Amino acid sequence: AKRLHGTDPVHGGDTLGVRCPNPGWLRLLIDQSGPVTGSSANLHGVDTMLNARDAALTLAVEAGHVIEGISQGGLASTVLDTTGESLIVLREGAVEIKHD
């Protein structure tokens, strides 16, 4: 990827975010082609992007490919930190987490 402008997608550290997408067509693409890497279109501190054009404009690197489409909306992904002995909810989204 070629760095262009925008928010830096990597802020140091030694962890990696992994996402399990919901749309069936995207899971089929991954099954057929293997793992896909990419930046989230919803970077920390930036408004949620709902279409491919706006999402591409927020990324700090040139995208290898952008699949056109409009988000169906809904909740953002739930983000967990699993690096410690217990889970830490970084962002609660589509998956509801029961807190003890």
User: If you write DSSP's letter for every residue of the chain in order, what string do you get?
Assistant: --B-SSB-S--SSS---------HHHHHHHHHH-------SS-TTSPPP-BHHHHHHHBSB--S-----B----PPPPEEE-SSSS-EEEE--SS-----
Predicted local confidence at residue 28, as pLDDT: 92
42: Cβ contacts below 8 Å, ≥ 6 apart: 48, 49, 76, 77
Higher pLDDT, 13 or 98: 98
Predicted local confidence at residue 31, as pLDDT: 92
User: What confidence tens digit (pLDDT) does each residue in 13-52 have?
Assistant: 677 777 777 788 888 988 999 887 766 666 667 777 777 7
Predicted local confidence at residue 85, as pLDDT: 92
5: Cβ contacts below 8 Å, ≥ 6 apart: 60
Structure tokens at 46: 């930036």
What's the average model confidence in pLDDT over 47-67? 73
The rounded distance, in Å, linking the Cα atoms of 56 and 90 is: 24
Higher pLDDT, 69 or 54: 54
Whole-model pTM: value is 0.53
